[in-house]
Amino acid sequence: MNLTVTDVRLTPVLIADPPLLNTQGVHQPYTPRLVVEVVTADGVTGVGETYGDTKYLELARPFAEKLKGRRVSDLNGLFTLADEVAVDASRVSEAVDVGGLRGVQTADKLRLSVVSGFEVACLDALGKSLGLPVHALLGGKVRDAVEYSAYLFYKWAEHPAGVRAERDDWGAALDPAGVVEQARKFKERYGFSSFKLKGGVFPPDEEIAAVRALAEAFPGHPLRLDPNGAWSVATSLKVAGDLGDVLEYLEDPALGTPAMAEVAERTGVPLATNMCVTTFAEIREAFTRGAVQVVLSDHHYWGGLRNTQQLAAVCRTFGVGVSMHSNTHLGISLAAMTHVAATVPGLHHACDSHYPWQSEDVLTERLVFENGAVRVPDAPGLGVELDRDRLAALHRRWLDDDGTLRDRDDAAAMRIADPEWVTPAMPRW
Ligand SMILES: O=C([O-])C(=O)C[C@H](O)[C@@H](O)C(=O)[O-]
Ligand SMILES: [Mg+2]
């Protein structure tokens, strides 16, 4: 068996995204992703996926060149390789990523986000070469299915008039009734029984009312609210006080570890984060201050599936829960998330996934949610297959774009509907 990488293919794509609202603005009609393929000397192809914005592509290209000649089994070596790829300082001059949705932006985190796509592709190729599923390469699954939560968003019925976009059949959700209706659809279509509402969009009282309406419509179901740090400590405490009886956890109510620690100290409602603990370096302060009770891992920015397992082990050591964060992603990443989640003992919270919002994929067969869960694939590698025609079509869309959609910008999308829109100063409420 020859596991040497002889070729690496990078295919940026633009995939359709509905008009989902968050505190920074609204999703653009298409969002960039990068599909990574590694090919071994034996002709085995492994596939991975990560962010597709320009700053990631700029790193992925030299990284791909360096990977050639190495073995797909050399997973630790990926981090050494990544250290050799220079990050343009202007790419990390902002303190926060995606207008603040993914926490601090550092050169390391950028590199790790790129490594993750290659790590998954290498694991896929290795698994296919050995005839083993990725979860077996990670030590073996401890469950046969991974539970996901319905990721509810405030949402317009459609993208602004005149903007090229794909239509969706979810309708608008701009008030409590709309949110409950969306949740019903999620439950009907996918069987989800946990619900997360992306907040930070409307004044907190409106979002409290929406969560109350969910609690009434779905009694006993785990509920979460995530305003992406849009609230002050006082507002966070008010929301925790009003919703404490129905929330599984409150996600990033306030921005940064000190503010989260202050909230945590004064409420019994567990706090989750994908914003103040997003790197290993951020763990110590957050855990010693008791700022978070659940970390939402994301194999993309934590640097892959094996780093996700390490994060889970650290969380376990400190008695902190673990679950998963999600951005817009394709089926490749859902498969990767499912494999790693299957290996993590003590995963007590349903994972987030944007996948139901994605009408487009690059796989021959979409992954399916049954009773809110994805069965852990047992076929070799990730257990998914690329549909090359779909991949080519979505790449064509990326090629045809004049550059406006190649870098995610939720504030720019919002300005099309509201030219006065500026990224809100935090805390917003
Ligand atoms: O905090 C989170 O869960 C996210 O930031 C997830 C996504 O980025 C979501 O907010 C989005 O895409 O609008
Ligand atoms: Mg979050």
Q: Are residues 41 and 105 in the same domain?
A: yes
Question: Where do we find the tokens 């946990």?
Answer: 194
| 11 ligand 1 Cβ < 6 A | no
Q: How far apart are the C-alpha atoms of 43 and 132, rounded to whole Å?
A: 17
184 within a domain of the structure (yes/no): yes
| Percentage of the chain modeled with pLDDT above 90 | 94
For residue 94, the model assigns a pLDDT of 56
85 within a domain of the structure (yes/no): yes
Q: Is the pLDDT of residue 232 over 60?
A: yes
For residue 302, the model assigns a pLDDT of 97
Which ligand places an atom closest to the C-alpha of 23? Answer: 1
DSSP track, 315-378: HHHTT-EEEE---S--HHHHHHHHHHHHH-TT--SPBP--GGG----SBSS----BTTEEEPP-
pLDDT 10s digits, 411-422: 999 999 999 999
Q: For all residues of the chain together, what is the average pLDDT? A: 96
Which ligand places an atom closest to the C-alpha of 99? Answer: 1
Q: Are residues 109 and 250 in the same domain?
A: no
Angle 247-154-35 (CA atoms, 0-180°, nearest 5)? 100
Tell me the CA–centroid distance for residue 375 and ligand 1, in Å: 24
Q: How far apart are the C-alpha atoms of 326 and 355, rounded to whole Å?
A: 9
* 101 CA closest ligand 1 atom index: 5
Do the annotations mark residue 359 as ligand-binding? no
Q: How far apart are the C-alpha atoms of 364 and 392, rounded to whole Å?
A: 13
For residue 99, the model assigns a pLDDT of 55
367 within a domain of the structure (yes/no): yes
173 within a domain of the structure (yes/no): yes
Q: Are residues 322 and 286 in the same domain?
A: yes
Q: Are residues 94 and 167 in the same domain?
A: no
For residue 103, the model assigns a pLDDT of 81
Is the pTM here over 0.90, yes or no? yes
User: Mean pLDDT across the stretch 19-31?
Assistant: 98
Tell me the CA–centroid distance for residue 327 and ligand 1, in Å: 6
Q: Clarify whether 325 is annotated catalytic.
A: yes
Residue 60 sits in which domain range? 5-135+387-399
Q: Are residues 69 and 44 in the same domain?
A: yes
415 within a domain of the structure (yes/no): no
Q: Is the pLDDT of residue 143 over 70?
A: yes
| 22 ligand 1 Cβ < 6 A | yes
What's the CATH number where 38 sits?
A: 3.30.390.10
User: Mean pLDDT across the stretch 229-248?
Assistant: 98
User: Mean pLDDT across the stretch 5-18?
Assistant: 98
For residue 97, the model assigns a pLDDT of 58
20 within a domain of the structure (yes/no): yes
CA atoms within 13 A on the CB side of 232: 6
pLDDT 10s digits, 307-318: 999 999 999 999
Tell me the CA–centroid distance for residue 326 and ligand 1, in Å: 7
Which of 113, 228, 252 for mutating ligand 1's site (highest number of atoms within 8 Å of CB)?
Answer: 228
Do the annotations mark residue 2 as ligand-binding? no
Catalytic residue, from 221, 300, 325, 339: name it.
Answer: 325
| Percentage of the chain modeled with pLDDT above 70 | 98
Measured by CA distance, the residue closest to atom 7 of ligand 1 is 327
DSSP track, 37-48: EEEETTS-EEEE
| 325 ligand 1 Cβ < 6 A | yes
If one compares 35 and 97, the residue with the highest pLDDT of the two is 35
91 CB-contact burial (10 Å; exposed 0-12 / middle 13-18 / buried 19+):
middle
Q: Are residues 146 and 231 in the same domain?
A: yes
381 within a domain of the structure (yes/no): no
Q: Is the pLDDT of residue 251 over 90?
A: yes
Q: Are residues 331 and 185 in the same domain?
A: yes
Query: In the chain, how many domains are there?
Result: 2
Do the annotations mark residue 408 as ligand-binding? yes
User: Mean pLDDT across the stretch 4-17?
Assistant: 98
412 within a domain of the structure (yes/no): no
46 CB-contact burial (10 Å; exposed 0-12 / middle 13-18 / buried 19+):
buried
For residue 139, the model assigns a pLDDT of 98
Do the annotations mark residue 325 as ligand-binding? yes
pLDDT 10s digits, 165-223: 999 999 999 999 999 999 999 999 999 999 999 999 999 999 999 999 999 999 999 99
Q: Clarify whether 198 is annotated catalytic.
A: yes
Q: Are residues 206 and 331 in the same domain?
A: yes
pLDDT category, 96, cuts 50, 70, 90? low
Q: Is the pLDDT of residue 98 over 60?
A: no
* 98 CA closest ligand 1 atom index: 8
For residue 90, the model assigns a pLDDT of 79
Q: Which residues surround ligand 2, an ion (CB under 5 A)?
A: 226, 251, 274
pLDDT 10s digits, 283-328: 999 999 999 999 999 999 999 999 999 999 999 999 999 999 999 9
Q: Are residues 367 and 326 in the same domain?
A: yes
Q: Are residues 93 and 204 in the same domain?
A: no
What's the CATH number where 255 sits?
A: 3.20.20.120
For residue 201, the model assigns a pLDDT of 98
pLDDT category, 104, cuts 50, 70, 90? confident
Tell me the CA–centroid distance for residue 252 and ligand 2, in Å: 6
